[in-house]
Amino acid sequence: MRNFQPVLNEIYSNIKKTKDKGIVASYIPELASIDKNNFGIHLRTIEGHEYAVGNYNKLFSIQSISKVLTLTKATSIIGSDIFKRVGVEPSGHPFNQLSLLEIENGIPRNPFINAGAIVIADILVSRLENPKEDFLDFIRNVTSDNTIHYNESVALSEKKTGYKNFAAANLLKSFGNLKNDIDVVLDFYFHQCSIEMTCNQLSKAFYLFANKGKCLRNIVHLTESQVKRINALMLTCGFYDEAGDFAFEVGLPGKSGVGGGIVAFLPNNFIITTWSPGLNKKGNSKLGMQALEQFTTKTQMSIF
């Protein structure tokens, strides 16, 4: 069994010395006041060993990381029919870019850009009896943790300022790719983004992607073929117009959020979650990316 603690400690001391910590997302007002000195890493091996440093037990806003979990829930309900309404290509554009959506007749490039995630939210609003409650139950289930919750002030803060998401939803509606009421779908979407989790909890939630579709409690949520596809989407689209760079520097599938979290994993091996709230120009955690680059370089453990 490999002891990952020394390498995490080494990365932690390197990162703590880095002066440029990026910029905290301020377009969601509730996130603007998060201290960018927070930094944590948590690693869980497939056998269940855990290693961690820094603020790995502090809650933060998972934001777009939630898009992998909504896609998982939608896949478990309707399977590949999802891809009649959303594509599987990287967009090469920022997560909230809209012009492609109009050019491509309301079919978002992939489920991780905002427009794509709004279509997935629409599917869940149609299919779940109590969408917000049922989705939260699903996350609590895969993590075996009933304390996970929505942050209502973050959801409200984004509802008040989410002009581009309203624009995306309106465009989708105009092309017939949104079945439910715009306000209802966006209320679900803003809530999924507002979920708070720690690095530790996220490593648990993403266990199923490293473990062929079975969560920590050994329950099958996705078939092996479905996991293969979702993992491929994380590799190619998980970091928006920086997905190429993340594959190049880090070499793992993963997903980021504007709350500063990143979850990445080596299938059949480990899940690693970082949190550092300062973002780079592409909206991904600046120091989180650096830490993960150091991790796969030092350990020589990547999918390549």
Q: Which residues form the interface with ligand DON (CB under 6 A)?
A: 63-64, 95-96, 114, 158, 165, 193, 256-258, 283-284
Q: Report the distance separating Cα 204 and Cα 227, nearest Å.
A: 16
Q: Which is nearer to ligand DON, 8 or 121 (CB)?
A: 121
**8 A C-beta contact, residue 264 and residue 292:** yes
Q: Report the distance separating Cα 187 and Cα 83, nearest Å.
A: 23
Q: Which is nearer to ligand DON, 106 or 162 (CB)?
A: 162
Shortest distance (Å) from residue 160 CB to ligand DON: 13
Q: Which is nearer to ligand DON, 50 or 196 (CB)?
A: 196
Look at the block and give the residue holding tokens 């990162």.
15
Tokens of 225: 């073929």
Q: Which is nearer to ligand DON, 211 or 256 (CB)?
A: 256
Residues 6+ apart with CB under 8 A from 294: 10, 11, 14
Instruction: Return the residue nearest ligand DON (CB atom).
Output: 64
Bridge partner residues of 273 (DSSP):
42, 263
**8 A C-beta contact, residue 101 and residue 171:** yes
Shortest distance (Å) from residue 169 CB to ligand DON: 11
Shortest distance (Å) from residue 263 CB to ligand DON: 12
Q: Which is nearer to ligand DON, 110 or 284 (CB)?
A: 284
Nearest to 165 by CA among 38, 27, 21: 27
Shortest distance (Å) from residue 202 CB to ligand DON: 13
Shortest distance (Å) from residue 10 CB to ligand DON: 27
